[in-house]
Amino acid sequence: MKCAFLFPGQGTQTVGMGKDLYEKYEIVRKVFEKASEIAQIDIAKLCFEGKRDEYKKPYVISNEEIQAGEDLNQTENTQLAIATLSLAILALCKEKNIKADMAAGLSLGEYPALVYGGKISFEDSIFLLKQRGYYMQHYLPKEKFQMLAVIGLEESVIEAICDEIEEEGLFIQPANYNCNGQVVISGEEKAIQLAQEQLKEARAKKTVVLNTSGPFHTRKLEEAAKHYKQDLEKVTFLEGNNCIVLKNIDGRPYQKEENMVEILTKHIISPVRFEQEIQEMLQEGVDTFIELGPGKTLTGFVKRETKEVSTYCVNNVETFETLCENLGNK
């Protein structure tokens, strides 16, 4: 068996995520506590109630009915919340001796992957994601943007349509190459509307406007990337361990000689090439994919590429216990 850990990105968050894990496992509470101290945000409350609050110690879970709040869906909070839950589940896996040969994440999910790969410390990952989320939320251009998922059309056709619209003076470009037959494009509202019409004419199976707050992974975030680079330069990146970590910007493994500051700066403004990462893992012989964090988006992408692998999504007590029954202490 060859295993890969997958770490989800923004858009998978739900109010209440990780609550049962937090209640049952001490190590989960410790991870949340540590992350909250670093970020100075009560991340448990953010995950379980959807509300941001300044950090309070100790944290007591409210018995009040959980209601969705805007705080969790704000980029500067979402990134910390998802990553903390992923890292807490990763800590549980380590306790049960569940290991991976490769690690990959979607957008912010690349940071837990880098922690697991020994290329960045837990402390620095939380610091960086707090800064990254802040810049990505507060240094957006003022125009109105949308993101559109395009299903069932060749990448070259989608790229050609985007190029034609850009020649008319509008901004639009691919932002996520998720898997075979699924690409997400980002652009001005008018550009997305034009693209949607042309994509349907080109016989796309489906197009879906996504609920997002900005043109992420495009050149429109150059100002955010510029500010973020200053924080990346404060961090000491590590040599890493034996786990192979894949990069969003090209789908290839990180190499020791590469400039981590440049890669992670470029990460914000470059398309996510997760399809290439899946292909890289399959070529390396990975036959078991374990998604650690909310949702089941990434294992869904894997299943679109191949049915000949085992997949697990771990985001609550039940799914963690199922993973342990199948893979724990082996």
Question: Is 107 a known active-site residue?
Answer: yes
Radius of gyration (C-alpha) of the chain in whole angstroms: 19
As to burial, measured by CB atoms within 10 angstroms (0-12 exposed, 13-18 middle, 19+ buried), residue 301 is: buried
Q: Which residues pair with 54 in a beta bridge?
A: 41
Question: Is 213 a known active-site residue?
Answer: no
DSSP tag of 168: T
DSSP one-letter string for 238-272: ----SSEEB-TTTSPBP-TTS-HHHHHHHHHHS-E
Instruction: Name the residue among 60, 119, 126, 50 with its Cα closest to residue 87.
Output: 126
Longest pairwise C-alpha distance within the chain = 58
DSSP one-letter string for 218-244: SGGGHHHHHHHHHHHTTS------SSE
Distance from C-alpha of 201 to C-alpha of 30, rounded to nearest angstrom:
53
Q: How big is the chain, counted in residues?
A: 330
* Catalytic hit among 86, 125, 186, 217: 217
* Catalytic hit among 107, 125, 186, 270: 107
N-to-C CA span, the chain = 10
What one-letter code names the amino acid at 285? G
Q: Which residue has the tokens 């789908």?
A: 251
CB 84 within 8 A of CB 111: no
Catalytic residues: 107, 217
